[in-house]
Copies of this chain bind each other. A is one copy, B any other.
């Protein structure tokens, strides 16, 4: 499958920024060529290149194809702020494994505090282009206290609930909650336990946070045939 470009829709035309314009040049696209563009809204815009300037390119839309895939159940990922390389891998994998939203919070044991959400959006855009996902997952910075209780599973070393049975019970939507790379603090654990969150773990192994996230996302996609295998 061909990779796509990222652009913005304005007055029925598509605009590529400086970065995407350099990408156009790298792959030797010229005026008159057609390319696929994602804006993140779920459409694949098949476009013809009208002009290539230094800082932007302007394209006219030939055809708009609605991305028909719905991924069920809905997956909302909640992750505590961790080292940048881990955050990057988690976001890339979350896009490849088709999560619906990525929600990032600062945990008590987070060693970094990210302020700039744009840095994370860029990773999402690149991952969506590469893995051909025209509907970008929502990205939010949230407070720890905003983590929802209903339809949620917290991953921690405690094992109140059995992982596999909880996965099988997922209905329309699930919130998957992972601590930062350094884990949850005692206060946070107490918060989950007082509010009666479902807490589970992934078995008798030592996973890094990024592996744990990919593991859980893989099992849900598998259990519910969520990626709709090509027939």
Does chain B have a CB within 8 A of A198? no
Which residues of A are at the interface with B, using a C-beta cutoff of 8 A? Answer: 1, 69, 93, 96-98, 130-132, 157, 159, 162-164, 167, 201-208, 211, 214-215, 218-219, 221-223, 225-231
**B residues in contact with A218, CB < 8 Å:** 214-215, 218-219, 222
Given contacts A96-B208, A201-B230, A203-B229, 9 further A-B contacts (CB under 8 A): A97-B205, A131-B205, A132-B206, A164-B225, A203-B230, A214-B218, A215-B218, A218-B219, A222-B223
Is the CB–CB distance between B227 and A130 below 8 Å? no
Q: This chain: how many copies in the complex?
A: 2
What is the CB-to-nearest-CB distance from A5 to chain B, in angstroms, rounded to a whole number?
Answer: 15
Question: Which chain B residue lies CB-closest to A206?
Answer: B131
Is the CB–CB distance between B221 and A215 below 8 Å? yes
- Contact A205:B219 (CB < 8 A) given known A97-B211, A211-B97: no
Question: Which chain B residue lies CB-closest to A223?
Answer: B222
**B residues in contact with A159, CB < 8 Å:** 229-231
Is the CB–CB distance between B206 and A164 below 8 Å? no
- Contact A215:B163 (CB < 8 A) given known A202-B227, A204-B69, A230-B203: no
**B residues in contact with A96, CB < 8 Å:** 205-208, 211
Is the CB–CB distance between A162 and B201 below 8 Å? no
